[in-house]
Chain A
Amino acid sequence: MSSANPASLRTTTESRPVRYALTALALAFVVLFLVIPLVSVFWEAFSKGWGLYREALVEPEALSAIRLTLLTALIAVPFNVVFGVAAAWAIARFEFRGKSLLTTLIDLPFSVSPVVAGMMYVLLFGINTPVGAWLDANGFKVIFAVPGIVLATVFVTFPFVARELIPLMQAQGADEEQAALVLGASGWQTFRRVTLPNIKWGLLYGVILTNARAMGEFGAVSVVSGHIRGETNTIPLHVEILYNEYNFVGAFASASILALLALVTLAAKTFVEWRMTRQHAAARTRTAEARAAA
């Protein structure tokens, strides 16, 4: 037996057929459950030609659904960025009473079913409740209107930014921020010049996840929307309605817009992930070096 056998350098010990079989299995799974459904969305959307596809998307109700979806994301994302950064900062940097409770609360939207989330808002703001009656008497519409859709979306996308930032900020440690404060920087300066650049990629990742979910949310939004065509239908709701109308081209055309948004999001996410891996590695090296120096 030669000790220079290249096979011994391999990390796997399985025979070639086993490895190929496992790879083929994994690939088949990906093709079957991800690629084929995705392709079929576009296939169905274009099944009756480009003209009908275009027509399905420039129809006023489709346009209004696209507009409402973008508007919802446009409000929900900045809101959750501000909240997520604040929460992550508090949790990663400070020790306080009720910290674990806060962490749990942030995770709540993950564990609550979106439909239940929507119903909570109906129970809270429905016209038969004190809050709902007061709002109605003062001319505010929350549920079955745009504010309710935004609220439900904010709720289901609540954890993404904070969940993304907390581990990152904990890994990075507070050393650099402490140094900035010692050198006389104000709190805001520290945040802008030190914290923000450090968490930049993690934050962006959180934003992308938030955005993807905000645009795609169905359950919670369906409960609070009221399904008024051209007014309170988002793209996912519009897709369902068209599908129920047997308008398959329209349904899949709208679905393809969602899928396109998802693909763009996915590309952005991959890029950000790649940057983040580098940043994590850099943070670890820096910490190690600093420890070694001390």
Chain B
Amino acid sequence: MKKTLSFSAVAVAFALAAPAWADVSLLNVSYDVMRDFYKDYNPAFQKAYKARTGETVTIQQSHGGSSKQALSVVNGLEADVITMNQASDIDLLADKGLVPANWQTRLANRSAPFTSVTVFIVRKGNPKGVRDWNDLVKPGVQVIIPNPKTTGNGRYTYLAAWGFSKTQPGGSDARARDYVARLFRNVPVLDAGGRAATTTFMQRQIGDVLVTFENEAEMIAREFGRGSFELVYPSATVLVEPPVSVVDKVVDKKGSRKVAEEYLKYLWSPEGQTIAAQNYLRPQDKAVAQKFNGQFPPVKTFTVEGVFGSWRAAMKTHFADGGVFDQIYTKK
């Protein structure tokens, strides 16, 4: 009797847990800080797709640390599309044969529908007078940066600092290495994620400068109030290009290629670009960028590929075990 009860309870629970039926469903595997953007973008795409084809699309989101998410897809998480914050995470999928090696050239702008830049967030009134990268290595300045070994945010910051130093007059790899080593000597904690670093800076009030993405600065403003900090744009910084791709192996198996491709293409539509701009991601579309230009001060930027050759090379030299980051961080 008892058994029958528990079995029927299980059956009921299963029935309840079954997802709602829909024409097509897509799983977008993404990283932590993209939640807010896709929360706005998904309904817009669903509406546009329904209007055009009459089909209803269900979109499921999965969020987590960028590299962890890419690994999950390698291990069988059935992502139709993957939206990461750096190309090396999708390169990993290419290495495992889930996407073709030329995935980055299949969409415009090297598959990055929008960009961002790495900026400084300082305490109100900028008490330490932080204006540029060189101010971060001054004695007594504490800088909050998430761990470059585990987070895209931290890697972009590291590469931005390196690139800044290298592109200065008289700059070289040796000088850049020395500069980055001095920078990380001013980092009191290496948080494991971008959001964790924000929490350390804003809630635990540790550090004088938080180096993070421009769009994250907007999230902080929305959550903690605009008066609670100041934003500083350095003289030059890295261009953050978060790439997207269809996961070929999954869409071919599920038969969802068409809608998955539409889903990504729509990111470049005026509506997709506007939603990006509303979330403080710099749009690629010139007209939309023009409309929001008050929001995005012009900054001199360099790309990861421009300074380091490719993401693969940067990962191998700097972030692999025993790479440059390990060398300078352990020599602290």
Neighbouring A residues of B9 by C-beta, 8 Å: 74
- Cβ 8 A contact of A231, one of B19, B32, B72: B19
Are the C-beta atoms of B60 and A230 separated by less than 8 Å?
yes
Q: Please, how many angstroms separate the alpha-carbon atoms of A78 and B3 in the complex? A: 9
Asked if B75 CB lies within 8 Å of chain A CBs, one says yes
Q: How far is the CA of A78 from the CA of B75 in the complex (A)?
A: 30
- For B62, list chain A residues within 8 Å (CB): 226-229
Chain A positions 49-75 with a Cβ under 8 Å from a chain B Cβ: 64, 67-68, 70-71, 74-75
Task: Give the CA-CA distance A144 to B77 in the complex, in Å.
Answer: 6
A68 contacts across to B, CB distance below 8 A: 17
Binary interface profile of B, 60-88, with partner A (CB < 8 Å = 1, else 0)?
11111000010010111110000000000
Flag B188-223 by CB within 8 Å of A: 1 or 0 each.
000001010000000000000000000000010011
Across-interface contacts of A241 in B (CB, < 8 A): 35, 63
Main secondary structure of the interface of B (DSSP, over half): helix
| Interface: B13 (CB within 8 A) | yes
Give chain B interface residues in 1-39, CB to chain A under 8 Å: 6, 9-10, 13-14, 16-17, 19, 27, 29, 32, 35-36
CB distance from B4 to the nearest CB of A (A): 12
Complexed CA–CA distance, A229 and B30 (Å): 11
Contact yes or no, A67 B35, CB < 8 A = no
Whether A244 pairs with B17 at a CB distance below 8 angstroms is: no
Q: Which of B10, B61, B222 has the most CB of A within 10 A?
A: B61
**Judging by beta carbons under 8 Å apart, are A226 and B6 in contact?**
no
Q: Is A143 an interface residue (CB 8 A)?
A: yes
Residue contact A143 to B75, C-beta cutoff 8 Å: yes
A127 lies within 8 A of chain B by Cβ: yes
Write out the residue numbers on chain B whose beta carbons fall within 8 Å of the beta carbon of A136.
76
Check A228–B27 contact: CB distance below 8 A.
yes
Q: How far is the CB of A82 from chain B (nearest CB, A)?
A: 10
Produce 1/0 per residue, A105-128, CB < 8 A to B: 000000000000000001001111
The reply to whether A244 and B32 contact each other, CB–CB distance below 8 Å, is yes
Complex contacts, A144 vs chain B, CB 8 Å: 72, 75-78
User: In chain A between 199 and 250, which residues have their CB closer than 8 angstroms to a CB of chain B?
Assistant: 226-231, 241, 244-246
Contact B17 A75 (CB under 8 A): no
- Assess whether B75 is in contact with A75, with CB atoms less than 8 Å apart: no
A2 to B222, alpha carbons, bound, how many Å? 75
- Does the CB pair B10–A75 fall under 8 Å? yes
Q: Is A146 at the interface (CB under 8 A from chain B)?
A: yes
Considering the complex, give the chain B residue whose CB is closest to the CB of A63. B16
A126 touches B76 (CB 8 A): yes
CA distance A70 to B14 in the complex (A): 11
B75 near A126 with CB under 8 A, answer: yes
Question: Would you call B63 and A229 a contact (CB within 8 A)?
Answer: yes
CA distance A146 to B13 in the complex (A): 12
Whether a CB of chain B sits under 8 angstroms from the CB of A132 is yes
Interface centre among B63, B76, B222 (most CB of A within 10 A): B76
In the bound complex, do residue A67 and residue B6 qualify as a contact, i.e. CB atoms below 8 Å apart?
no
Q: Which B residues are in CB contact (< 8 Å) with A71?
A: 10, 13-14, 16-17
- Tell me the smallest distance from the CB of A185 to a CB of chain B, in Å: 21
Q: How far is the CB of A194 from chain B (nearest CB, A)?
A: 18
- A74, B10: Cβ atoms closer than 8 Å: yes
A70 to B13 alpha-carbon distance, docked (Å): 8
Return the contact of B61 from the options A143, A146, A229 (Cβ within 8 A).
Answer: A229
Closest A residue to B39 by beta carbon equals A245
B6 touches A78 (CB 8 A): yes
A136 to chain B minimum Cβ distance, whole angstroms, is 7
| Given known A-B contacts A144-B78, A228-B60, A228-B62, A67 and B72 have beta carbons under 8 A apart | no
Interface centre among B16, B62, B96 (most CB of A within 10 A): B62
A132–B76 CB distance below 8 A: yes
Please give, as numbers and ranges, the residues of chain B lying within 8 Å of A246 by CB-CB distance.
Answer: 219, 222-223
| A127 near B76: Cβ-Cβ < 8 Å | yes
Rounded to whole angstroms, the CA-CA distance of A228 and B63 in the bound complex is 7
- For residue B35, which residue of chain A has the nearest CB? A245
Q: In this complex, what residue of B is CB-closest to A75?
A: B10
Q: Are A67 and B16 in contact (CB under 8 A)?
A: yes
Query: In the assembly, what is the distance between CA of A71 and CA of B18, in Å?
Result: 12
Pick from A227, A229, A231 the residue with the most CB of B within 10 Å.
Answer: A227
Give, as a whole number of angstroms, the nearest-CB distance from A189 to chain B: 17
Extra 20 A-B pairs, beta carbons < 8 Å, given A144-B78, A244-B193:
A67-B13, A67-B16, A70-B13, A71-B17, A74-B6, A74-B10, A125-B76, A128-B76, A132-B75, A141-B78, A143-B76, A226-B29, A227-B62, A228-B27, A228-B60, A228-B62, A230-B60, A244-B63, A245-B35, A246-B219
Q: Can you list 30 A-B contacts (CB < 8 A)? A: A64-B17, A67-B16, A67-B17, A68-B17, A71-B13, A71-B14, A71-B16, A71-B17, A74-B10, A122-B75, A126-B74, A126-B75, A127-B74, A128-B76, A141-B78, A144-B76, A144-B77, A144-B78, A227-B63, A227-B64, A227-B69, A228-B27, A228-B60, A228-B61, A229-B61, A231-B60, A241-B63, A244-B32, A244-B195, A246-B219
User: Top 5 closest A-B pairs, CB basis?
Assistant: A127-B76, A126-B75, A246-B223, A71-B13, A144-B77
Q: Which residues of A contact B (CB under 8 A)?
A: 64, 67-68, 70-71, 74-75, 78, 122, 125-128, 132, 136, 141, 143-144, 146, 226-231, 241, 244-246
